[in-house]
Structure 1
Amino acid sequence: MPSMRRFFDDQEFHLDRSCQLGASPSQHIARVLRMSKGEEVVLFNGRGGEWRARLVAVDKKTVEVLPLAHDPVERTPPLAVTLGLPMIKGERMDYAIQKATELGVARIQILDTARCEVRLKGERQEKKREHWRQVAISACEQCGLNRPPEILTAMPLTNWLAGPLPGLKLIAHPGSEPFPTERLSTQSELTLLTGPEGGFDDDELDKAFEAGFSAFALGSRVLRAETAPVALLAALWAWLS
Structure 2
Amino acid sequence: MRVPHIYQASSIALNTPVSLNDDAAGHIGRVLRMKVGEHVSIFNGEGGEYFSEIIEVTKKSVVVMPLRFDEHNVESELNIHLGQCVSRGDKMDFTIQKSVELGINEITPIFSQRCGVKLSGDRLEKKHQQWQKIAISAAEQSGRNYVPVVHPPVDLKQWLEQHTDEIKLTLHPRAEHSIKTITVPSAGVRFLVGPEGGFTDEEMAQTKQQEFVDIRLGPRVLRTETAALTVLSALQLQFGDLAN
Equivalents in 2 of 1:233, 1:13: separation in Å? 32
* Offset at residue 182 of structure 1 (A): 5.5
User: Hey, what does 1:89 align to over in structure 2?
Assistant: 88
Equivalents in 2 of 1:239, 1:19: separation in Å? 41
The C-alpha deviation readout for 1:120-144, integer Å capped at 9, x for no partner, is 1011111001101111111111111
Q: What does 1:155-170 correspond to in 2, within 5 Å?
A: 155-170=154-169
C-alpha contact (below 8 Å) 1:78/1:188 kept by paired residues = no
* Offset at residue 225 of structure 1 (A): 1.0
Give the TM-score normalised by the residue count of structure 2.
Answer: 0.95
Give the TM-score normalised by the residue count of structure 1.
Answer: 0.96
C-alpha contact (below 8 Å) 2:176/2:215 kept by paired residues = no
User: Hey, what does 1:177 align to over in structure 2?
Assistant: 177
The C-alpha deviation readout for 1:169-226, integer Å capped at 9, x for no partner, is 1111131233454513x43321010111100111111111111111122112111111
Equivalents in 1 of 2:196, 2:82: separation in Å? 16
C-alpha contact (below 8 Å) 2:178/2:217 kept by paired residues = no
* Offset at residue 150 of structure 1 (A): 0.6
Equivalents in 2 of 1:205, 1:39: separation in Å? 54
Pair 91,127 (structure 1): closer, same or farther in 2 beyond 3 Å = same
C-alpha contact (below 8 Å) 2:78/2:236 kept by paired residues = no
Stretches of structure 2 lacking an aligned partner (at least 5 in a row): none
User: Hey, what does 1:213 align to over in structure 2?
Assistant: 212
Q: What secondary structure is seen at the aligned counterpart in 1 of 2:152? A: strand
How many aligned positions are there? 239
Equivalents in 1 of 2:58, 2:113: separation in Å? 49
Q: What does 1:62-211 correspond to in 2, within 5 Å?
A: 62-174=61-173, 175-181=175-181, 183-184=183-184, 186-211=185-210
Equivalents in 1 of 2:139, 2:221: separation in Å? 29
The aligned amino acid for 2:146 is R
* Offset at residue 71 of structure 1 (A): 1.1
Greater Cα offset, 101-110 or 163-172: 163-172
Aligned sequence identity (%): 37
Equivalents in 1 of 2:63, 2:180: separation in Å? 52
Give structure 1 regions of 4+ aligned residues with deviation exceeding 2 angstroms.
177-182
Equivalents in 2 of 1:45, 1:25: separation in Å? 12
C-alpha contact (below 8 Å) 1:166/1:191 kept by paired residues = no
User: Hey, what does 2:236 align to over in structure 1?
Assistant: 237
Q: What secondary structure is seen at the aligned counterpart in 1 of 2:26? A: helix
C-alpha contact (below 8 Å) 1:21/1:62 kept by paired residues = yes
User: Hey, what does 1:15 align to over in structure 2?
Assistant: 14
C-alpha contact (below 8 Å) 1:170/1:193 kept by paired residues = yes
C-alpha contact (below 8 Å) 2:169/2:192 kept by paired residues = yes
Pair 60,166 (structure 1): closer, same or farther in 2 beyond 3 Å = farther
